[in-house]
Amino acid sequence: MIDRRSFLERLGLTGGALVLAGSAEWACAPSEEGDRGTGQVAAPAPLRVLILGGTGFIGPHQVEYALSRGHTVTLFNRGRTNTHLFPGVERLVGDRNGDLAALEGREWDVVLDNSGYEPEQVRATAELLAPNSRRYLFVSTQSVYSDRSIIDQDERGAVGMRGVPSEEWDGYGPLKALSEAQAREVLGDRLTVVRPAVIVGPGDRSDRFTYWVVRVDRGGEVMAPGDPADPVQFIDVRDVTEFMLHLVERDVAGTFNATGPADPLGFGEMLGTMKRVSGSDADFTWVARTFMEEQGVRAFADMPMWQNPTGRTAGFMRMSAEAAKAAGLVYRPLEQTVADTLAWCRTEPPERWEQMRAGITAEREAELLRAWHGRMV
| Overall average pLDDT of the 167-181 stretch | 96
Residue 4 has pLDDT above 50, yes or no: no
- In this structure, which amino acid lies at residue 256? F
CA pseudo-torsion sign 262, 268, 274, 276: negative
pLDDT for 82 equals 78
Q: Is 23 exposed, middle or buried (0-12, 13-18, 19+ CB in 10 A)?
A: middle
Indicate whether 149 pLDDT > 50: yes
**DSSP characters over 64-128:** HHHHHTT-EEEEEE-S-SSTTS-TTSEEEE-BTTTB-GGGTT---SEEEE-S--SHHHHHHHHHH
Q: Report whether pLDDT(39) > 60.
A: no
User: Mean per-residue pLDDT for 66-91?
Assistant: 90
Task: Count structural domains, the chain.
Answer: 1
pLDDT of residue 26: 32
* Domain extent for 328: 4-373
Distance CA 156, CA 140 (A): 15
User: pLDDT of 220-277, one tens digit each?
Assistant: 999 999 999 999 999 999 999 999 999 999 999 999 999 999 999 999 999 999 999 9
Give the range among 20-24, 199-203, 315-319 with minimum mean pLDDT: 20-24
Three-class SS state of 203:
coil
Cβ–Cβ under 8 Å, residues 266 and 231? yes
Phi, psi of 223 (to 5 degrees): -75, 120
pLDDT at 356 over 70: yes
CATH number at residue 83: 3.40.50.720
The mean pLDDT value for 207-225 works out to 97
Taking 90 as the threshold, does the pLDDT of residue 112 lie above it? yes
Task: Give the residue-averaged pLDDT of 302-307.
Answer: 98
Cα separation, 334 vs 149, whole angstroms: 26
> Residue 140 pLDDT > 80, yes or no?
yes
Confidence of residue 28 (pLDDT cuts 50, 70, 90): very low
Note the pLDDT of residue 80: 80
Smallest CA-to-CA distance from 136 within 51, 231, 36, 44 is with 51
Q: Which of 114-118, 156-160, 333-337, 339-343 has the lowest average pLDDT?
A: 114-118
